[in-house]
A = this chain, B = another copy of it.
């Protein structure tokens, strides 16, 4: 037998508005009634229906987070940052797995229009930024990347600076056989584009043999490692797109007795354990700030500094 606020009112002999007042801790309720109502509520184990509250307030205290796939540890850190912040502010976080499927992604933006979410954080995307800009009229959207000239909030790290620092140092050390791994190719991924830019600035055009695409994790790293080690001209350094990949490649080389420097990205625990250099991408801080923006509905672009951690 599910009770509603009306029942509580009846049971405690007062009006719904009085009950609502004590529920929401509004002033102007006599101690006597207050206690009586509280007692009835406790006795009958009543809890206000949040769907009705949401409808009434027009908010849901819920935000959606678009992720390509949760299993990539990269996103875990961002999610953690979001989660911590959201909990403190009394928000709930709904995970929106896209698998980089455009239809799914669009569906989630539609749900924003439906008011299922107060806002959406995009950790990675397949839609064009111009399209996402259009969705902002349905609600707050914050992307975890540089949103350029588009009117979309963004929180990101200055990757280019770190990439340039890494490549410049390698060059100064006299290295010049530098291989790269990327996630999605430079055609669609912003970070891939920046990697290229920094590489070319320091070393000129890249030897296509020294590039492996679609490297997202450990298994991808194995493939890349096997490939690089079979080249006639084995690279001196492999600059990877994340720590999981870096570790896997490192192990392949180690097993084959090759001495190749591997550099990761994200500063995950695993790279620390293996003593692999990495770039701290401040993922959890990005999540934290992105939530701040989505929560306050502010339009803003925030750029954090990344740090090259040499090991």
Contacts and interface: CB of A to CB of B under 8 A. Distances in A.
Interface of A: 45, 47-52, 54-55, 58, 60, 62, 64, 69-71, 73, 76-77, 79-80, 83-84, 87, 92-97, 104, 110-111, 113-116, 217-219, 222, 248, 251, 269-270, 273-274
22 contacts: A47-B113, A48-B114, A49-B55, A49-B114, A49-B115, A50-B115, A51-B60, A51-B116, A54-B55, A55-B55, A70-B80, A73-B73, A87-B104, A92-B94, A92-B116, A93-B95, A94-B94, A217-B269, A218-B270, A219-B269, A248-B273, A251-B274
Contacts of A87: 97, 104
Contacts of A69: 80
Pick from A51, A96, A116 the residue with the most CB of B within 10 Å.
A51
Contacts of A219: 269
A71 B60 CA distance: 26
Contacts of A113: 45, 47
A115 B83 CA distance: 21
A73 B244 CA distance: 13
B47 A114 contact: yes
Nearest to A269: B218
Contacts of A76: 70-71, 76
A251 B222 CA distance: 18
Contact of A251 (B97, B218, B273): B273
A56 to B, nearest CB: 9
A87 to B, nearest CB: 6
A111 B50 contact: yes
The 4 closest A-B pairs by CB, nearest first: A50-B114, A47-B113, A51-B55, A51-B54
Pick from A95, A97, A104 the residue with the most CB of B within 10 Å.
A95
